[in-house]
């Protein structure tokens, strides 16, 4: 609100002091030293001296406002605030000097330029404040994720001493950068930021190693999950290709992705059957691109199928609404039953609640005659509902 009030005050001040058609030319003729922007006819209602006096007064107020805000502001490394502030101060001093020397047209021109730069300062401060907030949230998330990784690795019996030390050092380094900025020591902030970024790079390397070791410590679970999911995905794609071939559609690219994935699947399964899960996981890692391309195709097919289902359901919104309400009530009762049996259903409950919100938004957009937006929310809602129902089936 402080930024909004300051900007509003600036707009009011500028509007109050610059009437339409006002000139900044001297009484003896057009001043060659003034920008063409201000070459207009003089209005006799406000003498130049009085106008200059009012502008100087306003500029002084804006100077006080921005100076007070800057004293309490924390600025990011690449902020343009101080650049605008320096320009504003330069124009303010020129305006005041011109006024004292009786050069009122120049005082008005420089005063207006100062006003513009003060406005940019206020806008930049607001932007800088938001950038800092986002940056701080991102770093908090990064440090929390790092902490969880280290905790999981420690629980698995891995050596986490180096990662712990780097995490603490990196935290301290970023805190120091924040302190430098708060104290407006920009040069030191730049130096400390370089140190902080270098520490973060080292921490990233250490965390990647820990995650890799963690994955291999659970290689049997990861490989078995890969095989179970892959088997279902291949069967699904085979059905899609079979139906597409019946209608004469081109399935060459999809078949190529399926064949590549199947070849990898067979190799991984062979190693898993021998109990060599470490090698199997390594093979999956080496062929990550093959896995990615295959599941990208699977996702595309699912998305198109979902779009078709939603389109059909939207042909009868009343029946669709009743179906959704019935499924949500049924799933809610099923989750309550599982909860009484001691199953942790928190994640499923959150998804069910989110699905309800998506459907609510979808029906609202449909009422407003915006079917495209409605369709997008219905697709998300149906996906979430399917996840909940899969969870219920898996735990029943």
Instruction: Summarize pLDDT for 257-282 with one digit per residue, the tens.
Output: 999 999 999 999 999 999 999 999 99
- Residue 56 token pair: 């100087």
> What is the reported pTM?
0.47
Distance CA 195, CA 57 (A): 45
Q: What is the largest CA-CA distance in the chain?
A: 100
Q: What pLDDT digit, counting tens, does each position of 212-258 carry?
A: 888 888 889 899 999 999 999 999 999 999 988 888 888 899 999 99
Banded model confidence at residue 94, pLDDT cuts 50, 70, 90: very high
Phi, psi of 45 (to 5 degrees): -70, -25
Q: What pLDDT digit, counting tens, does each position of 363-394 carry?
A: 999 998 998 899 989 989 998 998 899 899 88
77 versus 245: which is more confidently predicted? 245
Non-local (6+) Cβ contacts of 18 within 8 A are 112
Helix (H, G, I), strand (E, B) or coil at 319: helix
Distance CA 51, CA 254 (A): 75
Q: E-strand spans in 269-323?
A: none
- Among residues 139, 205, 129, which one has the least CA distance to residue 172? 139
Non-local (6+) Cβ contacts of 85 within 8 A are 66, 70, 117, 118, 121
- Residue 360 token pair: 């609510």
Contact in structure between 77 and 186 (CB atoms under 8 Å):
yes
């Amino acid at each position: 609100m402080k930024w909004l009030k300051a900007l509003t005050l600036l707009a009011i001040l500028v509007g109050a002091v610059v009437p339409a058609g006002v000139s900044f030319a001297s009484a003896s003729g057009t001043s060659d030293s003034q920008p063409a922007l201000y070459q207009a006819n003089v209005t006799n209602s406000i003498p130049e001296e009085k106008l200059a006096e009012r502008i100087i007064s306003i500029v002084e107020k804006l100077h006080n406002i921005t100076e007070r805000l800057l004293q309490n502001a924390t600025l990011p490394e690449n902020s343009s605030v101080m650049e605008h502030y320096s320009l504003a101060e330069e124009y303010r001093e020129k305006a005041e000097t011109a006024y004292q020397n009786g050069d009122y047209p120049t005082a008005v021109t420089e005063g207006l330029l100062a006003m513009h730069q003060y406005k940019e300062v206020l806008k930049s401060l607001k932007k800088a404040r938001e950038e800092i907030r986002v940056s701080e949230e991102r770093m908090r998330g990064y440090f929390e994720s790092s902490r969880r990784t280290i905790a999981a690795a420690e629980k698995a019996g891995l050596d986490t001493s180096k990662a712990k030390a780097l995490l603490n050092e990196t935290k301290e380094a970023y805190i120091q950068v924040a302190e430098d900025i708060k104290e407006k020591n920009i040069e030191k902030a730049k130096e400390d930021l370089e140190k902080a970024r270098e520490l973060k790079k080292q921490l990233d390397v250490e965390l990647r190693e820990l995650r890799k070791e963690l994955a291999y410590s659970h290689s049997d679970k990861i490989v078995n999950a890969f095989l179970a999911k892959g088997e279902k995905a291949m069967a699904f794609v085979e059905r899609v290709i079979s139906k597409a071939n019946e209608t004469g559609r081109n399935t060459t690219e999809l078949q190529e992705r399926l064949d590549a994935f199947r070849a990898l699947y067979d190799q991984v399964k062979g190693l898993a059957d021998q109990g060599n899960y470490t090698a199997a996981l390594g093979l999956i890692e080496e062929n990550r691109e093959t896995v990615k391309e295959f599941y990208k195709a699977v996702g595309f097919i699912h998305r198109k199928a979902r779009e078709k289902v939603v389109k059909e359901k939207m042909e009868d919104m009343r029946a669709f609404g009743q179906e959704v309400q019935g499924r949500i009530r049924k799933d809610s009762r099923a989750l309550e039953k599982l909860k009484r049996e001691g199953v942790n259903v928190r994640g499923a409950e959150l998804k069910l609640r989110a699905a309800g919100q998506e459907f609510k938004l979808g029906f609202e957009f449909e009422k407003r005659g915006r079917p495209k937006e409605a369709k997008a929310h219905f697709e998300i809602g149906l996906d979430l509902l399917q996840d909940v129902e899969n969870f219920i089936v898996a735990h029943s």
